[in-house]
Amino acid sequence: MKRAFGIFIFLFGIIFSNLSASENFQTVEPKDATLVKTDSSKEFCNVCAMHLTKYYKTNHVAEFKNGHKEQYCSLHCLAEVHKNHAEKIKNIQVVDTRSLKLIDALKAYYVVGSSKEGTMSSSSEYAFFTKEDAEKFKKEFGGEIHNFNETLKLTKDKLSKDNESIDEKRVPIAIKGKKIFESMCDVNQIKEFNSIGEAKQYLIDNNTCKNLDAQMLQAVSVYLYNPLYAIDKSKMINIHEDSKCPVCGMFVSKFPKWVAQIQLEDGHNHYFDGVKDMMKFYFNPTKYHANTNEQISQINVTDYYSLELTDGKKAYYVIGSNVYGPMGEELIPFKNKDEAQKFMTDHFGKSLVSFDEIKEEMLK
């Protein structure tokens, strides 16, 4: 078994090395790179967790108003943060492609769409301190010259399309990351992460995995950030993108790891962003504008570990743990009672109940 896993890791290394493109135009020697972070994440992008030196020529640095600094491998990753937190950012720097020094992004000249490969993007964005350097680069490699704000807007406009392509590439990495995580890591140390970089830093700081090289660590981080990459979607609760929870009004498709469902005999479905809201509806359907004559045919929940559709009336629920769902404290569902009991121990759950033991007062 160990020999087979060793062969798998060897083959994975070959596959991942091709995907990571370690010998890119963006790559520089570590001695030539300026890295501004000082914690355990200092060598990788906080958003995608890719190595900053390997993609250095497209690096951006954001200094926040609270004094904190983050370094990103690309304008794409900076844009992911900027779209929601622009008001918190004090200033932005970018690497000058020619000198490799950090310069004020607002004063830089960007060559967009050259023949040189982009980082996390379908088209490249390389910055220069002088317009003359940008013109020389454009003459040799093509593209168009823009200022920072114009380039940022172009990047934001194609974020969704670029992310679709990135997600496709992450699927095989996450599948391998899942196998590595289950074989070489403490599977109980799993939580929600806002980015791949956050997942990687958590793994490093908490010593969650043993003897992982850089490629394996990246794969596990990709998987933990979004286990859905490695899941057979056909085994999950199928939900429409525009479905809203009748209790809280949120779009349920944004929380696929927490979806619960009530199926009615007339074929209609109610979707919820967690078991707690589903049970609020279950106990008081008319409060949420349901018809009094609705007849339930099936209740489904999402198993916490496998993320697979599970019969809600046969599931087990942990209440009062330190794991939170979209609506805060949650009833965490499990298909397997032993897994539920272990989760309760590991995550300080207060009680373990079956469906029939759930009482309305527990939801408060």
Alpha-carbon span 38 to 158, nearest angstrom: 31
pLDDT at 289: 78
Q: What average pLDDT does this structure show over 253-258?
A: 90
**Beta strand pairing call for 296-302 and 309-311:** antiparallel
3-state class (DSSP) for residue 199:
helix
What does the pLDDT average to over 170-185? 94
How confident is the model at residue 346, as a pLDDT? 84
Average pLDDT over residues 14-32: 68
Answer whether residue 76 shows pLDDT above 50: yes
Average pLDDT in the 296-324 region?
A: 94
Q: What is the pLDDT averaged over residues 304-309?
A: 90
Token readout for 204 is 């490093």
Question: Nearest 5 degrees, angle CA 230-CA 234-CA 238?
Answer: 110
Q: What is the pLDDT of residue 15?
A: 40
Nearest to 259 by CA among 340, 325, 356, 319: 325
Helix ranges (H only) for 212-355 are 214-225, 275-283, 337-346
Query: Average pLDDT for residues 205-232, to the nearest whole number?
Result: 92
Owner of token pair 């991942």: 16
Nearest one of 146, 171, 4 to 75, comparing CA atoms: 146
Q: Decide if pLDDT at 190 tops 90.
A: no
Confidence tier at 84 by pLDDT (50, 70, 90): very high
pLDDT top residue among 25 and 3: 25
Q: What is the pLDDT of residue 313?
A: 97
95: helix, coil or strand? strand
